[in-house]
Structure 1
Amino acid sequence: MVHSPQLVLVQKNMTWEEALNYCRDTYTDLASLTSYQENTLAVRKSTKAEVSHVWIGLHFVVRYWIWVDGHALEYQAWSEDEDPKCPARNLHCGALETDTNIWTPRDCGEKLNFLCYEK
């Protein structure tokens, strides 16, 4: 049986990189939502977020969106009109929109709540 890691919502506003470091220091890692089920669970976990978006472990490197934990980006939840294949230079970090369960490219310097994997 595969045990999927538990998600925890951190109700602190941090930049994407601060969130990544916080998750890695305090928990395991910034959450990688690799399936519809995980994405749905993440949305449920995010209902108490103080902001409309929460950071997830998704970022744009060179020409690709990748998960920080190395998972392949097979499942995707971008909105229909969002084509993040070539995001603007300042929109290289992925966030989950808490009321629609859609991912959006955001400014990495924005301060948002975020989802970590528990140990």
Structure 2
Amino acid sequence: MKITFLGTGTSQGIPMIANNEPVCLSDNPRDKRLRSSIMISWNDIRYIIDCGPDFRQQMLRENIQSINGVLFTHEHADHTAGIDDLRPYTYKMGEVPIYAQERVIENLKVRFS
């Protein structure tokens, strides 16, 4: 089993827009962090935990051609706003299972239906 950290930034990412904190002005590549998400994989199976607004960029960076499901930890935008970018996987593979608490599923239905 392998865990890949897709993003470890804040809810706004790092650097943040209009922010003059040293980390946001840094030239260090380690200070360029996408929003929080991880991928758990083994063999050819891949599960994503949280699919935020940086999801597309994360999948392209890691060259992920297929996923087996997504777990949403909660309904905040920085963990769910990338849901529309699941479409290429559904076109290719059919349904992509979504896992979350019922309140999160209901929130996603309202926001993305």
Decide: shared fold, TM above 0.5: no
Greater C-alpha radius of gyration? 2
Flag the structure with higher helix content: 2
Which structure carries more relative contact order (alpha carbon 8 Å, separation 6+)?
1
Flag the structure with higher strand content: 1
